[in-house]
Amino acid sequence: MYKDKKVVFSGVQPSGVLTLGNYLGAIKNFSAFSDEYKCYYCVVDEHAITVRQNPAELRRRTYETLALYIACGLDPEKNTLFVQSHVPAHAELCWILDCYTMFGELSRMTQFKDKSQKNADNVNAGLFTYPTLMVADILLYQTELVPIGADQKQHLELTRDVANRFNTVCGDTFVIPEPYIPTNTAKIMSLAEPAKKMSKSDENENAVVRILDSKDVIIKKFKRAVTDSGCEIARGEGKEGVSNLMTIYSAFTGKSDDEIVDEFNGKGYGDFKLAVGETCADALAHVREEFDRLVKDKAYLEDVMKKGAEDASRSAARTMSKVRRKIGFTELKG
């Protein structure tokens, strides 16, 4: 059924409520692949435990992240939606590929440095080697395209390097994935520090718009957004805050910079912030309503998890059979 379709893979950690940046930069665009590609979208709960998690909260957020996938337009009938820990092959392939990943490669990963500083009391081995788990996630499904932001290129470069190294040593085994970085994907910055990317782990709640924030909360956050001391609504040096608001407004309305400038000609930042906030809140209203409906139906979500894990496991099993044979592991028959 899917042999003529290219494979797309992506994953999201259940480590916090997804942000406007996650939505506009990634999830909103995922559904565009559904008809032409075989898509695997994973809730990567194994990645989440590189930092300490409350078990009950992690379970709850796993359900919520799956519900958000669906609420954002990912049809389980067209996409394989599953939870990483439900497919043990992810962890198995990670260990094998750890043996084909160089220490120096992992030590250069910028996210390890960042997370080590933030979690100085828990710099564990998993925090160091989790990029290899990302490599395994991608290669396990013979992925050809990986939708990523420009800041994630380092991880995909590692994936390609490890795949090429394994193929060279063991023979042709893995598809070498390509990055998919659409030029029109919005990169959303912090509302409080517009030179910094919006992050769901930001401790300043005013810096982050979360997909499930209420309309009132979203509007309040935009009203408090950092701009500059001027009053002109336009992009330019020193106007990172206004530029970020223009990016968000354009992502929801489809308007060009020139059209936005014309629309708000003679108006101040207050009017612009309010318009962006209302536009954002209205656009996310359907997602919030659909999420509220889905998250109450635990049986449905578990059914999606089960079917997704079964589908993902079938594909993973084909790859793992080939990998085990290539490296010399024995397999039981029957």
d(CA 97, CA 113): 21
Catalytic-labelled residue, pool 5, 78, 187, 197: 197
Chain-centroid distance of CA 184 in Å reads 17
d(CA 300, CA 294): 8
The 3-state DSSP class for residue 53 equals: coil
Residue partners of 11: CB distance under 8 A and separation at least 6 = 41, 42, 43, 44, 47, 84, 137
Lookup: tokens for 133 = 């788990």
Active site residue 113: no
d(CA 183, CA 205): 29
Q: Give the sign of the dihedral formed by CA 322, CA 327, CA 328, CA 329.
A: negative
What number of residues does the chain have? Answer: 334
* 37-43: strand order across its sheet: 80-83, 37-43, 6-12, 145-147, 178-180
Do 270 and 297 form a contact (C-beta atoms < 8 A)?
no
What's the helix, strand, coil split of the chain in %, to 5? Answer: 55, 10, 35
Do 264 and 235 form a contact (C-beta atoms < 8 A)?
no
Catalytic-labelled residue, pool 187, 200, 223, 322: 200
Active site residue 239: no
Catalytic-labelled residue, pool 28, 115, 221, 239: 115
Active site residue 200: yes
Tell me the catalytic residues: 115, 197, 200
